[in-house]
Structure 1
Amino acid sequence: MTEGLLVFQSDFGINDGAVSAMHGVANSVKRGLPLFDLTHQIPQYNIWEASYRLLQTINYWPSDTVFVSIVDPGVGSDRRSVVVKTVKDQYIVTPDNGTLTHVNRFIGIKEVREIDESKNRLPKSGESHTFHGRDIFAYTGARLAAGEISLEDIGPSIPLSLIVELPLKETIIEDNCITGVIDVIDRPFGNLWTNIRRLQFKQLDVTYGDAFEVSLTIDGELVYEGIVTYGRSFAAAGIGEALMYVNSLDNIGIALNQGSFADTYQVLTGSSTEITIRKAAIAIN
């Protein structure tokens, strides 16, 4: 591949030298390699969010961009290290632990290579087994982005069907009601981003200003129930009021205007948090 961009994502935070060490490894491979950070604020060990943040971002980067994603609670175990090539000719270097779930489902992956760590590992790091983000993923990603190695140099090809995937719940539409899940929290604002696509939502015959009955359950327990206005933007509701809107990924979001819906109602993400939306029989004044 030609020289590309290198983008890092992790759950490391920025309070110590871990991210800087990965940047240093990349610059040691090639000084001045274009480096960027997607985020390093993913909640620790949250593979689901790592998967979703790739989906949120990857479409806006050019082909030949290399993403290095490290949320790796199984570091040092027998989980695979892989590089995948997407249908848009981007690359993701990551542990094979579910991080590729959303990209595979909603964007598409056309090739998977298992990293041969005997060839693709930072020199003199063979006795360390707790910082693969630096020693394997950053090093391999930098060499790939710099054009020092090709995808074929990574290691053996493996079937796409073998990669680890997290369970995804499908949206259900029936009896003028739509049910989905909360995929992720839009931090730091605390908005809820659902898996309900705008075109699915519009099957309820919606217009800006319409009122909807919204309920949220976590593991079957009701945590929120209320009437919510569908608006074009946050200004459609008063300060502290709930509203429903189309987010930047063309999915339905739920928010409190200038407040945190997630913190107010202690909402979690993933398939255990279900949202149900039904057109309200009354309008909001």
Structure 2
Amino acid sequence: MSRALVLQSDFGISDGAVCAMYGVANGVDSSLAIYDLTHDIPQYNIWEGSYRLLQTVSYWPEGTVFVSVVDPGVGSDRKSIAVKTASNHFIITPDNGTLTHIKKHQGLLEARIIDETVNRLPNSGESYTFHGRDIYAYTGARLASGVISYEEIGPSLSMEELVELPLTDAAQTNGKVEGIIEILDIRFGNLWTNISRKLFKEFGIQYGDLLEVSIESSTRKIYQNIMTFVRSFADSLVGEPLVYVNSLDILGVAINQGSFAGAYQIGSGSGWKITFKKMKELPIKKNNRE
């Protein structure tokens, strides 16, 4: 019985790269169900590729095979690997940090190095620049269709050997909750932090509370303002900044019907720090004549 095959890359869809991957998978098994996670990962942005897997994988049926190709090191000595997650999904990808978020938040059961002598598109041996087509889509399709078993992908790889990106944990400190802007909600310009609703609850934050929100890049403070922690966007006015819990049970910051990231030119990653401090009441501005 075939499993679903889900593709992710930074290729975009303006040329034939993604279509070629579809063609390779279809050539393995024309009945295989193939889906797209996204092909709009910013070029070479391994961090975002890692996060989008975390955002998506657990919502698919067990046994689904994911192929993730954000591969600035294609053709180098970086490994090509396949992993089985704790949720019983499979991911085919370069070993360059793409599995960082999945490993930390969902867990991995085992990893294997892809044996390219047998798991490579026939007659592609002299091509070293499109492993997404020649190795990952081909191996992913063979695994998803049952042509090969997971064990036939190649030799085992120790979990400790996997390449990981540095992650920063959110924490309570000095009467504040501190974390990072881990990713952007691209379509709407919202900021998704690495601060869980559980941590906020432990800090004593409740819906309706006023929060002082500060955002810093690696070089300077970008933003500081007071916002309300709301249950939904309907609890705020259009154009008003707000703090909310997103679909992954993580704290987000937004402008109701506006782009927060666009308005303040804010990015994401470990260099973007965000801090929340509970306010007892709004500060009163003094009259300049007093």
Aligned to 2:38: 39
Aligned to 2:141: 142
Q: Decide whether the 8 Å contact of 1:213 with 1:279 is kept in 2.
A: yes
Q: Decide whether the 8 Å contact of 1:93 with 1:141 is kept in 2.
A: yes
Matches within 5 A, 1:145-224: 145-224=144-223
Distance in 2 (CA, whole Å) between partners of 1:241 and 1:129 is 50
Distance in 2 (CA, whole Å) between partners of 1:207 and 1:91 is 38
Aligned to 1:102: 101
Aligned to 2:12: 13
Distance in 2 (CA, whole Å) between partners of 1:233 and 1:13 is 32
Distance in 2 (CA, whole Å) between partners of 1:270 and 1:44 is 15
Distance in 1 (CA, whole Å) between partners of 2:233 and 2:261 is 16
1:220 Cα offset (Å): 4.3
Runs of 4 or more consecutive aligned structure 1 residues displaced over 4 Å after TM superposition = none
Indicate the SS of the match to 1:173: strand
Equivalent pairs counted in the alignment come to 283
Q: Decide whether the 8 Å contact of 1:236 with 1:243 is kept in 2.
A: no
Q: Decide whether the 8 Å contact of 1:183 with 1:270 is kept in 2.
A: yes
Aligned to 2:287: none
1:266 Cα offset (Å): 1.0
Q: Normalised by the size of structure 2, how large is the TM-score?
A: 0.96
Q: Which has the larger radius of gyration?
A: 2
Q: Decide whether the 8 Å contact of 1:183 with 1:195 is kept in 2.
A: yes
Letter in 2 for 1:241: E
Distance in 1 (CA, whole Å) between partners of 2:45 and 2:233 is 28
CA gap of 1:154–1:19, structure 2 versus 1, over 3 A, is same
Distance in 2 (CA, whole Å) between partners of 1:36 and 1:126 is 27
Q: Normalised by the size of structure 1, how large is the TM-score?
A: 0.97
Indicate the SS of the match to 2:120: coil
Indicate the SS of the match to 1:271: coil
Superposed CA RMSD in Å reads 1.1
Aligned to 2:225: 226
Aligned to 1:254: 253
1:89 Cα offset (Å): 1.3
Q: Which moved more, 1:220-229 or 1:64-73?
A: 220-229
Indicate the SS of the match to 1:167: coil
Segments of 5+ residues of structure 1 without an aligned counterpart are: none
1:283 Cα offset (Å): 4.4
1:47-85 per-residue CA deviation (whole Å, 9 max, x = no partner) reads 000000000001101111000000000001000000000
Aligned to 2:288: none
1:49 paired to 2:48: yes
Distance in 2 (CA, whole Å) between partners of 1:220 and 1:21 is 42
Q: Decide whether the 8 Å contact of 1:210 with 1:283 is kept in 2.
A: no
1:282 Cα offset (Å): 1.7
Segments of 5+ residues of structure 2 without an aligned counterpart are: 284-290
Distance in 2 (CA, whole Å) between partners of 1:98 and 1:59 is 19
1:240-277 per-residue CA deviation (whole Å, 9 max, x = no partner) reads 11000000000000001111111111111111000000
1:208 Cα offset (Å): 1.6
Letter in 2 for 1:233: S
1:87 Cα offset (Å): 1.1
Matches within 5 A, 1:123-142: 123-142=122-141
Distance in 2 (CA, whole Å) between partners of 1:218 and 1:58 is 30
